[in-house]
Structure 1
Amino acid sequence: MSEPLPLEGVRVLDLTSVVAGPSATLRLADMGAEVIKIETLDGDLLRTLGGASKSGSMSPKFMHFNRSKRSVALDLKHPQCRPVLERLLGESDIFITNIRPESLARLGLDAVTCLAKHPRLIHCIITGFGPGPYRGRPAYDTVIQGAAGVAGLFIKRDGRPSYAPFLLADHVVGEVTAGAIAAMLFRRSRTGRGGELEIPMMETLAAFVLQEHLGAATFRPARGESGDSRILAPDNLPIATANGWVSVTCNTDPQVHAFLKAVGRPELLDDPRFKTVAARFAASKDWFAMRADALKHQPTEYWLRVLTEAGVPVMPCHSIESMLEDPHLVTTGLLQHRDHPIEGPIIDVASAVRFDGQASATGFSAQSSGQDTHAVLRELGFGEADIEAFRQSGVIGDGKMAGQTRRASE
């Protein structure tokens, strides 16, 4: 008999949208939590912002971040919505939102109000900026990448700012949020009390950047310029081969020795520029130039074999398309092919976390907006007459549409 997932029996009320919040609640769902996603009557913006789809309301990005979640559509501003929210809060262990603090307070969903009525609740808010001069400003991933110094790092390397080509801030904040919620659940198991969490995006990502790149400016007075010059070197890139690229890193002296022998440059073993970690750090430009020159004459397949046999960390530099065929990812089950009830055949991306040695399943498919509204309200004790009254007054969306989704596990 397999062990239950760590968060089985935990209910999450998810009032988040786009990516940062949904990535956190996806992680909680993959840990076994029941996630009830609250959407507006128009649905999560990511349903259309995340790319085209067959239905027009199931973008690829939305499906990836919102599988394994039940969908309830509510008009939170409607005065008759309050009884629904109170019952949802009363039956939930965790409430998570990325609505701005002042708007949350107007809805009566701020931490003080919620915890006064539901003291065991864990109330979590993801904000763009914590208490300070920027408090309350709107924020998206690219805004945070700029404010937290990520885009500025590219100036040191490339001479112009740039964004990471994926939603770096949202992913980092989502993972930090899920971990913080798990910690609060552990504390509640000992104290019996819930509590308040805030995860500010700018500060969270700025801490990552500064821990990595404050460097010599850590000391007071500064001992030199900020930034890890090795990481920020313009030549610190995947290395071109005769027919593609490989990603190679040698940090330890034994790895460097193995690399130099494997690429046919044993005469450099005693070169003072490359003899120690500190020397290679100081001569990073020469080190990267030597690597590039050494690998350009043989194909990728050759270097993957030779460097792997030598014990040098090396992997192919994948495109999205080639990654789908990577034998390791296929074998581990990260990529799971399934039929979505509306969109047809798709590739789902599973969690990479293995509990008790088992690969994670992807749960059920992303639901239509409001698909589970009726079922959840019945579970909360509302009768058919109540639910119909909510529908007629515009409090809820019923999620009825052609080709309505179903749970993959059924």
Structure 2
Amino acid sequence: MAGEAQTKGHSGPLAGIRVVDLTSVVFGPYATQIMADMGAEVFKVEPPAGDNTRWITEGPVAGMGGIYVNVNRGKRGLMLDLRQGEDKDTLRQLIATADVFIHSMRGSAIRKLGFDYDSVRAIRPDIVYTNCYGYSRRGPEGDKPAYDDTIQAECGIPYVQGLMNGEPGYVATIMADKVAGLHALYATMMALFHRERTGEGQEVEVTMFEAMSSFMLVEHANGAMFSPPTTPAFYHRAVEKNRRPYKTRDGYVAALVYNDKHWNAFIEAIQPEWAIGKRGEEFSTLEKRARQIGRVYGLLGKTFLTRTTQEWLETLQALHIPCAPLRSTGELFENEHLNAIGFFEEVETAQGPVRFPGVPTWFSATPGHVHGPAPMLGEDNQAVLEELAGNAEAIAAQADVSK
């Protein structure tokens, strides 16, 4: 691979891969963060104003907000003004050493700067070039801007939340950015795999709207896929208003008393009268319960009010019924399981120690890990410029020897 000689102590399945990263916010940076965790050398290229995520959440110093620090960890930072010829030349030199070029600019903007696919391929013919867009260029919305909220709205999330809660609403996480980021990651990896087998680079397009439409329609297509449709386009269990954590005597518990095995174990131990008479017949199979899931959830909700959360957890665990306590996001940092497996990785930075949520996947031979902090704006400019100059000298010396 192109970057093998330049890799500086990175380990993981992508060690030796060099990535030129012109993405911003979360969609693209989340994809390249995972590449960096897996050993790729990622060059985070920012304009003079910096990535907006530097400023939208808090951190120990200005310009190093939590979201930015998390999704840009382990990357090298370059500040380039791509309206200037000298900085464009620097980027071209960097591209010549790279395996992947990934950006999240609009198509018209990246073309205007002179770094569209054809221009980049002219520098590095076998490059994997990944476009991260809001909407596919092949459709009428191709150059339309997109953010997580607008894509959530476009793909039906507030609609199905409204079916559940009575009023449309966003989910309380930037789901569209992160789901699209995972699509950008796997698509880029597939293109690299093709290049490894054939030597052929290619252009890849990953879009938020199409990624989230696919994601939402996994279950919500339901019977609308068929001709003629057999149901509206939503999965009724997922939008049932009673599908929520069950209130207990002193709190809440999440539980799924759903399939026949779990249902039969529950009613035998807790509600044996539900197995007899008319109710027993009505609830006898998963298919029957699924058709009246709201009623089932309602009856379960009344039952869960009779015991404490801890009592329910002990009872359900003994019956091998899926259950969990409700946790805050802050509690994850103290979670016994996550800490037992070493999920969090503490990294020393110029701003003090940072406890990162670590790599969620495991490899027996090539494990990834957090390779370092996020860069300050332009932190690695001088070092990268010196490396590129050294590369140019080495290439020129090699050319002289071969004459």
Verify same fold: TM over 0.5: yes
Query: For structure 1, which segment, 133-142 or 221-230, has the greater mean C-alpha deviation from structure 2 after superposition?
Result: 221-230
Contact 1:350/1:360, CA 8 A, preserved across alignment: no
Once the two structures are TM-superposed, the CA of residue 215 in structure 1 deviates from its matched residue by: 1.2
Corresponding letter in the other structure for 1:29: A
Cα distance between partner residues in 1 of 2:87 and 2:290? 60
Once the two structures are TM-superposed, the CA of residue 273 in structure 1 deviates from its matched residue by: 2.9
Deviations 1:291-315 (A, max 9, x none): 2111112221221111111110111
Structure 2: where are the runs of 5+ without partners?
A: 1-9, 392-403
The 3 A distance-change label for structure 1 pair 172 and 294 is same
**Out of 344, 352, 369, which is 1:361 matched to?**
369
The 3 A distance-change label for structure 1 pair 4 and 54 is closer
Cα distance between partner residues in 1 of 2:367 and 2:247? 34
Cα distance between partner residues in 2 of 1:362 and 1:8? 13
Cα distance between partner residues in 1 of 2:37 and 2:249? 42
**Out of 292, 300, 315, which is 2:324 matched to?**
315
**Out of 355, 360, 366, which is 1:347 matched to?**
355
What is aligned with 1:372?
Answer: 380
The 3 A distance-change label for structure 1 pair 151 and 92 is same
Residue 75 in structure 1 maps to residue 96 in structure 2: no
Q: Look up the SS of the partner of 1:13 in the other structure.
A: strand
Contact 2:13/2:367, CA 8 A, preserved across alignment: no
Corresponding letter in the other structure for 2:166: G
Cα distance between partner residues in 2 of 1:78 and 1:112? 20
Cα distance between partner residues in 1 of 2:389 and 2:176? 39
What is aligned with 2:162?
Answer: 155
Deviations 1:318-345 (A, max 9, x none): 1123222221111122223444321x24
Once the two structures are TM-superposed, the CA of residue 187 in structure 1 deviates from its matched residue by: 0.4
What is aligned with 2:49?
Answer: 42
Once the two structures are TM-superposed, the CA of residue 25 in structure 1 deviates from its matched residue by: 0.2
1:129-140 to structure 2, matched below 5 A, reads: 129-130=135-136, 131-140=138-147
Aligned length: 378
Contact 2:130/2:205, CA 8 A, preserved across alignment: yes
Contact 2:25/2:51, CA 8 A, preserved across alignment: yes
Cα distance between partner residues in 2 of 1:300 and 1:336? 32
Q: So what's the TM-score if we normalise by structure 2?
A: 0.90
Deviations 1:365-407 (A, max 9, x none): 1111111111111111169xxxxxxxxxxxxxxxxxxxxxxxx
What is aligned with 1:267?
Answer: 273
Contact 2:101/2:130, CA 8 A, preserved across alignment: yes
The 3 A distance-change label for structure 1 pair 337 and 153 is same
Once the two structures are TM-superposed, the CA of residue 54 in structure 1 deviates from its matched residue by: 2.3
Cα distance between partner residues in 2 of 1:374 and 1:67? 19
What is aligned with 2:194?
Answer: 187
Q: Look up the SS of the partner of 1:139 in the other structure.
A: coil
1:317-336 to structure 2, matched below 5 A, reads: 317-336=326-345
1:7-406 to structure 2, matched below 5 A, reads: 7-49=14-56, 51-130=57-136, 131-262=138-269, 264-270=270-276, 271-342=280-351, 344-356=352-364, 360-381=368-389
Cα distance between partner residues in 1 of 2:368 and 2:12? 10
Once the two structures are TM-superposed, the CA of residue 36 in structure 1 deviates from its matched residue by: 0.6
Corresponding letter in the other structure for 1:373: N
Contact 1:352/1:359, CA 8 A, preserved across alignment: no
Once the two structures are TM-superposed, the CA of residue 116 in structure 1 deviates from its matched residue by: 2.9
Contact 2:242/2:297, CA 8 A, preserved across alignment: yes
Corresponding letter in the other structure for 1:90: A
Structure 1: where are the runs of 5+ without partners?
A: 384-410
The alignment's C-alpha RMSD in Å is: 1.8
Query: For structure 1, which segment, 296-305 or 141-150, has the greater mean C-alpha deviation from structure 2 after superposition?
Result: 296-305
Once the two structures are TM-superposed, the CA of residue 211 in structure 1 deviates from its matched residue by: 2.2
Cα distance between partner residues in 2 of 1:266 and 1:250? 14
Task: Return structure 1 stretches of 4+ with deviation > 6 angstroms.
Answer: none
Q: Look up the SS of the partner of 1:315 in the other structure.
A: strand
Corresponding letter in the other structure for 1:318: R
Cα distance between partner residues in 1 of 2:365 and 2:13? 14
The 3 A distance-change label for structure 1 pair 309 and 171 is same
Cα distance between partner residues in 2 of 1:359 and 1:289? 45
Contact 2:39/2:368, CA 8 A, preserved across alignment: no
The 3 A distance-change label for structure 1 pair 269 and 357 is farther
Corresponding letter in the other structure for 1:355: F
Cα distance between partner residues in 2 of 1:259 and 1:318? 24
Q: Look up the SS of the partner of 1:175 in the other structure.
A: helix
